[in-house]
Every structure is written in structure tokens, then in C-alpha cells.
A = this chain, B = another copy of it.
Amino acid sequence: MIYSKKRELVLDYVRTNCTHPTAEEVYSGLRALDVNVSLATVYRNLNQLAESGLLQRIATPSGADRFDGNIAQHLHAICTRCGRVEDIPRNALPDLCKIASSYTDMELSDITLVFHGVCSVCRNHTKN
């Protein structure tokens, strides 16, 4: 992959913003920094960076995909009220593929695991 200024900016943005931004958020975040980039380019670069392992894609169920500059193996917890994303270390959990393997004849190699809950901010905010 040859060098590209825009791609570097996209990667830097996701890395320095620990908000697990969506493509749209990366786009408007960069525009706010006076970076002239198109949404298509943001999508293309996010896909390439995720493909090459420089970013991690968080496929949230129903909603825009999010991206994470922390590529260490870890999982995510999403607040069902405000959408905030927090990290959960992957080694906190046992090897789920190995456990599930005995229940199917599929050769399981990976999991998509997202926790859902309510973050402390939202809990304090609205007590309903």
C-alpha cells in the first residue's frame, strides 16, 4: 500500500480519538480540522486500514460500523442509551471458539461479540 496523506490522517484520527468513531464521525471530525476529504475516501481508507489490520472494525448490530485504533485483541461493550463504547480485554474470557466447537461441525475460527448494557453516566442521568 503506497503512502497517502488522507489515509494517514484517517488512521491518526481514529487512533487519537478513543471514541470508536463511525465513518461519518471520522469524516466530520476531519472536516472540523480543516481537512479536505470526501466521505467516500474515508470509507475506502477505513476499509483498507481494517483489512490490513491497522484498525479494528466493530460491526455493531444494526447501526453504523465503528472503528478502533487499539488493535490489541479486545472486545466491546456498547451503552444501549448513548451508544458509548468501552473496551473489555479479550483474555478476560475463555476461548469460546474451542468451547463451541464441540456443538457444531463448523470449523470455528472467530467470534463477533458485543456486550450491551447501560453506562454509569446514563444510569445516573435518568433513573427510569
Contact of A110 among B65, B104, B115, B119 (CB under 8 A): B115
Across-interface contacts of A104 in B (CB, < 8 A): 77, 86-88, 115, 117
How many residues of chain A have a CB within 8 Å of chain B?
Answer: 38
Q: Report the Cα distance A113→B99, complex, angstroms.
A: 13
Residue contact B112 to A97, C-beta cutoff 8 Å: no
A58–chain B nearest beta-carbon distance, Å: 9
Residues of chain A from 84 to 128 with CB closer than 8 A to chain B in the complex: 86-89, 92-94, 96-97, 99-100, 102-120, 123
Given contacts A59-B61, A59-B62, A100-B77, contact A116 B111 (CB under 8 A): yes
The verdict on A75 contacting chain B, using a C-beta distance below 8 Å, is yes
Extra A-B contacts (4), CB below 8 Å, given A112-B114, A112-B116: A75-B100, A92-B99, A96-B113, A106-B119
